[in-house]
Amino acid sequence: METFATKLWKNAPKAALLVAVAAGAMLQGCSNTKGSDATGATASALSSDAATQVYVKPGSHDELYSFLSGGFSGQVSVYGLPSGRLLRNIPVFSQHAENGYGYSEESKAMLNTSHGFVPWDDLHHPKLSRKDGMTDGRWLFVNGNNTPRVARIDLTTFETAEIIELPNSAGNHCSPYPTNNNEYVIAGTRFSVPLDMKGGTKDVSLADYADQFRGSISFIKVDPDKGDMDLDFQILVPGFDYDLANGGKGPSEDWVFFTTYNSEKAGTLKEVGASQNDKDYLAAVNWKLAAQYAREGKAREMPANYYHNKLDKATHTAKSTVKKKVRYLLAEECPGMMYLLPAPKSPHGIDVDPSGEYMVVSGKLASAIPVFSFSKFQNAIKNKQFDGEKNGIPVLKYESVLQAEVKEPGLGPLHTEFDGKGNAYTSMFVSSEVVKWKLSDFKVVDRIPVYYSIGHLMIPGGDTKKPHGKYLLAMNKITKDRYLPTGPELTQSAQLIDISGEKMKLLLDFPTIGEPHYAQAIQASIVAPKSVKIHKLDENRHPYVAKNEASTDVSRKGNVVHVKMTAIRSHLTPDNIEGVQVGDTVYFHVTNLEQDWDVPHGFAIMGANNAETLIMPGATQTLKWIPKKAGVFPFYCTDFCSALHQEMQGYMRVSPKGSNVPIAFYTGKKKPAVVAQK
């Protein structure tokens, strides 16, 4: 079916392209006019056949876990597919009042950076860990775009286990991309900055952008057993903007490819300044050669200041380490490590097909989608088919590496994934559609409208050697008229599409959290059997753990009071506390004594300036509280745990500063007062 937008594309002169892009939102808003819902792909989504395909009966599990970036929410949301049911929100870079992440004393350190405590970030790209080019279900790596960071989520607990800050980087968008066996997670900077080789960024005139600004690509080494990350080295690269990346497979597995824009090195009004050249670049980096150069002493060292935050599983507590140096390579000093391939201006996605032979580049302003050949790329290097250099990096001739161009795909190509059956699927932002084309002859064979302004799309395993190939998930930016109105702000939308047949078929709409930019999905059978159900109480090494009610305690040292408390259905121990004074710093260390799956307990106290904390079975979590006035303050369990949940409560008596009320605490029978420590 040829859409109105496609007809416009065929007939519009190239000079009118920017006008077409600017008009995209108008076209999308009109593409689903009133009365059209009963036709085409939308009607199929309402059919009983589509409903049957996405229905998961009560008590049954979904086939797939899908992990969607939360964008400006700083979180990862987990949905079951095909049902579209929200299973979990995983806080990563943002504080989360629901479970106390970033508020509790144990988790605060996860958000430490060289800029101070940063309780938010812009999370764009989840990537699953790999084994031999296939997802293995152990970890999920995600990027923090605003304050450059990479995090690792442990998929046995669905918790953030580690966050590492990236020095010499700004706008960590081109990130994080694991190599085929997690040897490295690789992250490129979006915004180039003026680097001071003595550490940090220089104070230079913004007019000196072209001469002073550089980008960086970080190589984060991953422990093959534990997943622990370590910044091994960086490559300092030309001062372009680095957008997205993907690694090779099979013959190309030693390489990682980066789209770049602003080859003009414009420092202002980039929508114009960075659109002057006919072509930008696809940067190809041989990561194995880069690692070899670093091992063999080619890397230099510079001062740095960045944080590495890691969760200790035994104590359930995050700790920060400050790193003070970083190794770096200069791209122009490492022959054979990096090449530039001319690509359509302002490219976004770079996607490598399952065979590892084809690299697909999506130019946002391009009238065709170029498909580069890895074997031609290698021959071009061998035969020195260069077209000059850029900042000391060889530039290959476009024709020497080009396999084919996909003609007239649509308006605004962004991202491509593959079904493992010889087909590629590209998202079209401006014309709001997904286009299917063949890797054999590079011709478009199908297209389906989506609602509206699709950014990324995802096929489960679509970036691996063997894609799952049954579903496609479209992640759309605009949803007007798809859901009930909720004021000026509407939710974003995901749409599940059946790609098992020759024609794509829309199955389901479901709303998403934040702004999803990218997603990954994996068979539930790989992840679910490894899921942790409880933390073993006898393995809890928290310094203030109380493994039974007899070991609970309240103690004072100066103006600091520590409360070792337990929670079990349906009471807190102790539930009556006296002797606290106005201005004291009180730490409630609450241990959940339950050893039964899905019985968390929460803890909150009136007047707290942070959040509740949610404690999983067998774990200990700490809430900090500073009383501002005298009185009696209730505390209670916030997570409904039993028929007598409402009775799971207690009182804290706060006396005036300097009062002689001794520390006393009890549950049920009152205990003798504890002598205050000096």
Quick: pLDDT tens for 435-459.
999 999 999 999 999 999 999 999 9
Which pair of tokens denotes residue 649?
A: 């409560």
Residue 530 dihedral angles phi and psi, to the nearest 5°:
-95, 0
Which part of the chain has CATH 2.60.40.420?
Answer: 537-666
Does pLDDT of 33 surpass 80? no
Does pLDDT of 418 surpass 50? yes
Q: How far apart are CA 114 and CA 163, in angstroms?
A: 13
| pTM of the full structure | 0.93
Q: How far apart are CA 347 and CA 314, in angstroms?
A: 45
At 250, the amino acid letter reads G
Q: How far apart are CA 165 and CA 175, in angstroms?
A: 12
**Closest listed residue to residue 675, CA positions, set 184, 664, 623, 202:** 664
The pLDDT assigned to 365 comes to 85
Does pLDDT of 376 surpass 90? yes
Fill in the DSSP letter of residue 357: -
Does pLDDT of 367 surpass 70? yes
Does pLDDT of 468 surpass 80? yes
Q: What is the average pLDDT across 27-56?
A: 59
Q: How far apart are CA 605 and CA 587, in angstroms?
A: 11
Q: Residue 468: helix, strand or coil by DSSP?
A: coil
Give the helix/strand (H/E) hosting 381: helix 374-382
What is the second-level CATH architecture of the domain 10-530?
A: 7 Propeller (2.130)
Encode pLDDT of 260-286 as tens digits: 998 888 889 888 888 888 899 999 999
Q: Which of 325-334, 353-362, 590-599, 667-676 has the lowest mean pLDDT?
A: 667-676
Which part of the chain has CATH 2.130.10.10?
Answer: 10-530
Does pLDDT of 44 surpass 80? no
Q: How far apart are CA 629 and CA 652, in angstroms?
A: 12
Q: What is the average pLDDT across 652-673?
A: 89
Does pLDDT of 669 surpass 60? yes
Q: How far apart are CA 64 and CA 158, in angstroms?
A: 15
The pLDDT assigned to 673 comes to 52
Residue 430 dihedral angles phi and psi, to the nearest 5°:
-75, -45
Q: How many CB atoms are located within 10 Å of the residue 398 CB?
A: 15
The pLDDT assigned to 273 comes to 81
Q: Residue 9: helix, strand or coil by DSSP?
A: helix
Contact 453, 424 (CB under 8 A): no
The pLDDT assigned to 278 comes to 86
Contact 126, 67 (CB under 8 A): yes
**Closest listed residue to residue 591, CA positions, set 651, 550, 625:** 550
The pLDDT assigned to 197 comes to 82
Does pLDDT of 292 surpass 50? yes
Q: How far apart are CA 322 and CA 402, in angstroms?
A: 45
The pLDDT assigned to 576 comes to 98
Give the pLDDT band of residue 348 (cuts 50, 70, 90): very high
The pLDDT assigned to 629 comes to 97
Give the pLDDT band of residue 672 (cuts 50, 70, 90): low
The pLDDT assigned to 8 comes to 44
Q: How far apart are CA 214 and CA 390, in angstroms?
A: 13
Give the pLDDT band of residue 565 (cuts 50, 70, 90): very high
Does pLDDT of 499 surpass 80? yes
At 363, the amino acid letter reads G
Percent of the chain past pLDDT 70, that is, above it, reads 92
Q: What average pLDDT does the chain have?
A: 92
Q: Which of 28-42, 194-208, 298-312, 476-490 has the lowest mean pLDDT?
A: 28-42
Q: How far apart are CA 660 and CA 388, in angstroms?
A: 82
**Angle at the Cα of 635 from the Cα atoms of 631 and 639, rounded to 5 degrees:** 160
| Max Cα-Cα span within the chain | 88
Q: Which fold has domain 537-666?
A: Immunoglobulin-like (2.60.40)
Query: Which region holds residue 416: left if phi is over 0, alpha if psi is between -120 and 50, else beta?
Result: beta
